[in-house]
Amino acid sequence: MSNKLKVRYYKPKSDIALDITDIQNFVYDMSRCIKCKGCTWVDHTYMPGAKFMTRCPSATKYEFDAYGAYGKMRIGHAMAEGVLEWNDKALEIIYACTLCGACDVGCKRNLDLEVELTLEALRVKAVKDGVGPMPAHKKIADNIVKKHNFYGSAQKDRTGWITKGITPAKKADVLYFVGCTASYVNKEISQSTAKIFKASGTDFMLMPNEWCCGNTLFSVGMLDEAKALAERNVEEMRKTGAKTLVTSCAEGYRMWKVDYPKLLNISTADLGFEVLHLVEFVDEKIKDGALKMKKPFDTRMTYHDACSLSRLSEPWTPWEGKRGWMGCVEPRLRRRRGTNGVYSQPREILKAIPGVNLIEMPRTRENAYCCGAGRGTKEAFPEFARFSANHRLEEVKEVGAETLVTACPWCKNNFTQAVKANGDDVQVLDISEVICASIKG
């Protein structure tokens, strides 16, 4: 365009890529932040009023501009330009963030800056510079490398969730990737998931030797370790011959669907298998009549959008090209804006359950307020994770919900702990439990 217009300067084009291993790829994005705080406020169209105005947990809790994406972009820009050094505060700012993607969709409402990738790249830089991740993350990383799970538990106990009546197949088209939390801690989720498969008449298999998905490694910027795990897991999955991988964990879902392809520099479509979250699988099964939600659940219920299932879950496509005049890029870049996240399926499922009165919280879908647990936050900043859960629970109380449902064990655990500590009268359930209870009728 620029060289077609006589009046313009001709600007040499610069090479860029959506590659988080080099912060220089995001200098343009960091330098174009305008402090509109679209990253922080709820989309103004959906702004619910003087309560619940923000969607960024980090900015809400810590309040200094530095904790909002608009502050982090300035800090990152100064670091990329070599005029600001790491210190303890910088590390806290970069890691006391749930990487929940609220800022990214907020910015892309108007500006299309790559905020989420910038924040990921800053963590990669922290690790490369020898200052990151946080001590608590290093312990988890050690667990994953040595024991192949988040908790440092014995690998032999990974299948301890399999009880009588649950019989995974040796070979099947559907592979259930259980994940560390549903394997070791929240067995009710894996057990419910297995029963849902059975009720829908679907044979499922497990990975012969399932390892951690590596969410924490990736999220805290330990890319070498995360990439090794991605290569191993994808290879293992391909070897099974399964056509579809189903997760019951939103974080695991995002890893398989988005971040493994990102790490391996391939498209989601090139994985060679389909990645589904349980809610997508169940939604299809309800629609084709294989699953029926029969047993009533009389409750006033609300649904919490897990970030990794919703605004962070659009498929990944590698992109590299050039940026030129007015910041335009070529070849054409199809931006990931969170528009096509998994929003409707869980709601359709819950609405299909007799007796459920599903009500929305003031902040929903792409505007939802993160529970505060994911992507390394709860391990390094437990008080922040509690703050975020409590802040979200205020919304649950505002709409008078008796039951809070989510689709991620991280959300469930964080909310459950907060409810218990507060003595709140709210029941917290994973959506697999709700589905399972309803199909039993």
Partner 1 sequence: MAISKEIYSVLETIVGTEYISDDPVICEAYRSGPGGYENGLGYERVMTTIPGCVIMPRTTEEVQKIVRVCYRNDVPYVPYSTGFYGPRSHPHVEEALLIDLKRMNDFVLDEKHFYVEVGPGMVYSPIQQECMDHGAYVVIGGGGAQASAIANLIGDGWSPLSHRIGLPHRRILGTELVLPDGELIKTGSLATSDDPFWGESPGPDLRGLLRGYTGVRGCLGIVTRMAIKTLPFQPERLEPTGISPNTALALPEKRIKWINFVVPSKEAQVKAMKEIGHAEIGGAVTKVPLFWRAIAKAEDKEHFWEMWGQENEETIANFFIVRVLLIGYTSEEQMEYDERVLMDIMKEVGGEARRTKPSDESWIKNADSAGMWLMCGGYVSVDYVIETLSQATEHGPAYAELKKKYTPPLMPDYGDPGWFQSFELGHQGYSEFLVYWDQDDDTDKVDQFYVDTSKMNIKHRFYTSLLGPHQPLYLTGPKYGPNYHHYMLKVKNEFDPKWMSHPPVPLAHDVFVERAPWMHNMKDWESPEDLPK
Least distance from C-beta 337 to partner 1, angstroms?
6
> Does residue 326 belong to the site contacting partner 1 (CB under 8 A)?
yes
Quick one: which of 31, 244, 265, 390 contacts partner 1 (CB under 8 A)?
A: 31
Single out the residue of 3, 18, 98, 11 nearest to residue 321, CA to CA.
Answer: 18
The region of 36-44, 260-268, 279-287, 373-381 touching partner 1 under the rule CB under 8 A is 36-44
Q: Under DSSP, is residue 245 helix (H, G, I), strand (E, B) or coil?
A: strand
Which is it for strands 299-303 and 244-247: parallel, antiparallel or unpaired? unpaired
The region of 33-41, 221-229, 244-252, 300-308 touching partner 1 under the rule CB under 8 A is 33-41
Return phi, psi of residue 111, to 5°: -115, -20
Binding mask 363-402 for partner 1 (x = CB under 8 A): --xxx-----------------------------------
- Closer by beta carbon to partner 1, 52 or else 260: 52
Quick one: which of 1, 269, 290, 359 contacts partner 1 (CB under 8 A)?
A: 1
- Closer by beta carbon to partner 1, 65 or else 402: 65
- Closer by beta carbon to partner 1, 4 or else 170: 4
- Closer by beta carbon to partner 1, 327 or else 354: 327
Quick one: which of 23, 80, 90, 431 contacts partner 1 (CB under 8 A)?
A: 90
The region of 26-34, 350-358, 380-388, 426-434 touching partner 1 under the rule CB under 8 A is 26-34
Q: Which residues contact 368 (CB under 8 A, 6 or more apart)?
A: 55, 102, 304, 305, 307, 310, 311, 361
Contact by Cβ (8 Å): 145, 226: no
Q: Distance between CA atoms of 292 and 311, rounded to whole angstroms?
A: 28
> Does residue 330 belong to the site contacting partner 1 (CB under 8 A)?
yes
> Does residue 333 belong to the site contacting partner 1 (CB under 8 A)?
yes
Q: Distance between CA atoms of 105 and 137, rounded to whole angstroms?
A: 27
Contact by Cβ (8 Å): 293, 349: yes
- Closer by beta carbon to partner 1, 196 or else 370: 370
- Closer by beta carbon to partner 1, 106 or else 214: 106
- Closer by beta carbon to partner 1, 90 or else 212: 90
Q: Which letter does DSSP use for residue 218 in this model?
A: H
Single out the residue of 398, 298, 305, 287 nearest to residue 346, CA to CA.
Answer: 305
Single out the residue of 266, 298, 293, 274 nearest to residue 282, CA to CA.
Answer: 293
The region of 152-160, 292-300, 332-340, 408-416 touching partner 1 under the rule CB under 8 A is 332-340
Count of chain residues binding partner 1 (CB under 8 A): 65
Quick one: which of 211, 273, 319, 325 contacts partner 1 (CB under 8 A)?
A: 325
Least distance from C-beta 108 to partner 1, angstroms?
6
Binding mask 284-323 for partner 1 (x = CB under 8 A): ----------------------------------------
- Closer by beta carbon to partner 1, 28 or else 273: 28
Binding to partner 1 (CB under 8 A): which residues in 111-150? 111-112
Binding to partner 1 (CB under 8 A): which residues in 221-280? none
* Long-range contacts (CB closer than 8 Å, 24 or more residues apart) made by 227-236: 227/263, 227/264, 229/144, 230/255, 230/259, 230/260, 230/263, 230/264, 231/264, 233/207, 233/260, 234/260, 234/264, 234/271, 236/207, 236/208, 236/209, 236/211
Quick one: which of 17, 162, 329, 426 contacts partner 1 (CB under 8 A)?
A: 329
- Please give the structure tokens belonging to residue 111: 């500006």
Binding mask 339-368 for partner 1 (x = CB under 8 A): x---x---------------------xxx-
- Closer by beta carbon to partner 1, 33 or else 349: 33
Is the sign of the CA dihedral 331, 121, 97, 147 positive or negative? Answer: positive
Torsion of CA 414, 417, 421, 425, to 10 degrees: 90
Least distance from C-beta 381 to partner 1, angstroms?
15
Which is it for strands 174-177 and 204-205: parallel, antiparallel or unpaired? parallel
* Long-range contacts (CB closer than 8 Å, 24 or more residues apart) made by 105-108: 105/311, 105/337, 105/338, 105/366, 106/38, 106/39, 106/40, 106/41, 106/43, 106/55, 106/69, 107/33, 107/38, 107/39, 107/69, 108/335, 108/337, 108/338
- Closer by beta carbon to partner 1, 77 or else 137: 77
Quick one: which of 228, 319, 337, 426 contacts partner 1 (CB under 8 A)?
A: 337
Single out the residue of 182, 221, 185 nearest to residue 375, CA to CA.
Answer: 221
Return phi, psi of residue 15, to 5°: -75, 135
- Contacts with partner 1 by CB under 8 A lie at 1, 4-5, 7-9, 11, 31-38, 41, 43-50, 53, 63-66, 68, 70-72, 74-75, 77-78, 84, 87, 89-90, 93, 105-106, 108-112, 325-330, 332-333, 335, 337-339, 343, 365-367
